[in-house]
Amino acid sequence: MKTEQLVGHGWFPAAATDAASGPDSLFYFILIGSIIIFAGILYALIHFLIKYKRKSPNQLASGQLVHQPLLEISWTVIPFILVTIVFFWGYKDFLKMSIPPVDSMEVRVTGKKWLWQIDYPRYGVKTVGELVVPVNQPVKLVMSSEDVIHSFFIPNMRVKRDVIPNRYTRLWFEANRTGTFQVFCTEYCGDGHSQMLATLRVVSQEEFKDWLKAGSSGGDLPLPELGAKVYTKYACNTCHSLDGATSVGPTWKGLYGSNRPLTSGSAKADDNYLRESIVNPKAKIVAGYAPVMPAFAGLLSDREIDGVIEFIKAQK
C-alpha cells in the first residue's frame, strides 16, 4: 500500500487531524516573528557595514555609545513577552496531546527490532506493520518495547512518543480523513532502524468493521502468495533478501534444502528447520549472523507460517 507523500500545501505534510492546527499555526507564528526580527538584524548589519565602513587606515569610531536604556529594556522585554506567548501556546496543545478522550479506542503497540506489532485487544486481531483505524474516532495507542527504545511517529498526525521497555507510554490521535499514512521509528535502534516503518490506514467505520471481521488471516490466498504478503507485511524484507544479497539475515534465495553452517554444527534447511527458525529463531544461528531476529511464535498463524515456507521454497 502506497503511503501519502509527506509534502503539504504549507510547511508540513498535509494534516490528517484537526489537532494539527494548534502546532501548525504556532509554527507559522514563530516563523513570521523570526523572519521579521531576522530581517531587522540583517538590515542593521548591512546598514552599519555601509555607513560605518573604515575609510582611512587610522580612522577612529565616531561615537562610543555603550548604553541606551530604552533600547536595552525593549530588546529584553519584547523577546520575553514573545517567548511567554510561545510557551503557553505550546504547552496548551501539548496537554491536549497527552490526555486521550475517554471514548478512545485502545490499541496496543509493541516495538521490537525492527517491526511494529499492533494488537486490537477488544477484537482479538493482530497485525504487524499496519495500523488500521476508523476515521473520526479517537484512538489511544498503549505502547511498550520488547528490547531497546523505539519511538512511534506519525507525521500527518503531528504525534510522536517514545516506546520504552518495561514501561507503557501512550499516544492518541483522531484522524479527520481517510488515507494511508507513513509511520516512522524515530528513536535510533540499530541496523534496521530506518526499515522499522509502518503504515497507518484510516478507513471508514464500515470498512473498519469489515477489516476486523476478515482479521489478519489472509483469507484463502494460495500459500506462496500468502507467504509473499507476509514477507513484506511482517517486514521480513528488512533483513532477508530474495536476490542473494547479504543483509542482517541470510538471503532466502536458494535457502530451501541447502546445508546451513551453524554456530555449532550444521543443519539442512527443510520444512521443520524453517518453521523453528521462524517461531524460535534463536534455537539455531547460522554462522556469521547475529542472533537478532524476534520470535514470531503466536504472531503468525499456522497457515501463514506454511505460506512463508512455501514462499521460501519458490526462491530458487
Partner 1 sequence: MSSSHNENYLNTPKGIWSWLTTVDHKRIGIMYLVSVIIAFALGGLFALLLRLELWAPGQQFFTAKEYNQLFTLHGAVMVFLFIIPSIPATLGNFLLPIMIGAKDVAFPKLNLASFYIYVFGAIFCLASIFLGAVDTGWTFYTPYSTSTDTSVVTMTLGAFILGFSSILTGVNFIVTIHKMRAPGMGWFKMPLFLWSLYATAVIQVLATPVLGITLFLLILETTIGVGIFNPAIGGDPVLFQHFFWFYSHPAVYIMILPAMGVMSELVATFCKREVFGYKFVAYSSIAIAIIAFLVWGHHLFVSGQSDYAAMIFSLLTFLVGIPSAIKVFNWITTMYQGSIELKTPFLYFLAFIFLFSIGGFTGIMLAALSLDVYFHDTYFVVAHFHYVMMGGTVIAFLGGLHYWWPKMVGKMYNEFWAKIAAALIFVGFNMVFFTQFLLGSQGMPRRYYNYLDQFQPLHAFSTMGTWVLGLGFIVVFVYLVRSLVSGEKAPDNPWGALTLEWKTSSPPPVHNFEEIPAITGGPYDFGKEEKNG
| CB distance 169 to 162 below 8 Å | yes
Determine if 187 is a binding residue for partner 1 (CB under 8 A).
Answer: yes
Question: What is the spatial distance between Cα 183 and Cα 196, in angstroms, rounded to a whole number?
Answer: 9
Rule CB under 8 A: which of 261-280 touch partner 1? none
Q: Reduced to 3 states, what is the DSSP secondary structure of residue 312?
A: helix
Count of residues binding partner 1 (CB under 8 A)?
A: 85
| Total Cβ atoms within 10 A of residue 220 | 7
Give whichever of 188 and 222 is closer to partner 1, judged by the CB atom.
188
CB of 11 to partner 1, least distance (A): 5
Question: What is the spatial distance between Cα 180 and Cα 176, in angstroms, rounded to a whole number?
Answer: 12
Determine if 281 is a binding residue for partner 1 (CB under 8 A).
Answer: no
Task: Provide the mask over 48-67, with x wherever binding to partner 1 is found by CB under 8 A and - wherever it is not.
Answer: xx--xxx---xxxxxxxxxx
Q: In whole angstroms, how far apart are CA 32 and each of 25, 39, 57, 75, 309?
A: 11, 10, 41, 18, 57
Give whichever of 27 and 123 is closer to partner 1, judged by the CB atom.
27
Query: Interface with partner 1 by CB under 8 A: which range of 44-52, 104-112, 253-261, 280-288?
Result: 44-52
Rule CB under 8 A: which of 6-25 touch partner 1? 6-7, 11-13, 22-23
Determine if 36 is a binding residue for partner 1 (CB under 8 A).
Answer: no
Radius of gyration of the chain (CA): 28
Residue 171 CB-density burial (10 A; 0-12 exposed, 13-18 middle, 19+ buried): buried
Task: Provide the mask over 91-110, with x wherever binding to partner 1 is found by CB under 8 A and - wherever it is not.
Answer: xxxxx-xx------------
Query: Interface with partner 1 by CB under 8 A: which range of 75-83, 118-126, 212-220, 278-286?
Result: 75-83
